[in-house]
Structure 1
């Protein structure tokens, strides 16, 4: 799973999980995309940030 640069088309100007924005951890980019799988590398997109504290 490597970044092929396709995700640059979906790059978001917004940051930090604004409504509709998701993060691809493999590509290290925030994107505006309707699906749950990154169109570039195939990894699952994160819609929420990681918790600061593990329970």
Structure 2
């Protein structure tokens, strides 16, 4: 568990594992896309596409 996970779980202790993963992905992503796949009202997949640009 990273420091980010610990900080988030202290703020929202009952956050489910899938939602915790979403929050962590948002926290570490600088530029890109986070895509969630939901089946029957449940989160089943998290895809992260990160963009890196060079000058």
After TM superposition, the score normalised by the length of structure 1 is 0.27
Normalized per residue, the structure richer in strand is 2
Normalized per residue, the structure richer in helix is 2
Tell me which of the two structures has the higher relative contact order, counting C-alpha pairs closer than 8 angstroms and 6 or more residues apart. 1
Larger radius of gyration: 2
After TM superposition, the score normalised by the length of structure 2 is 0.27
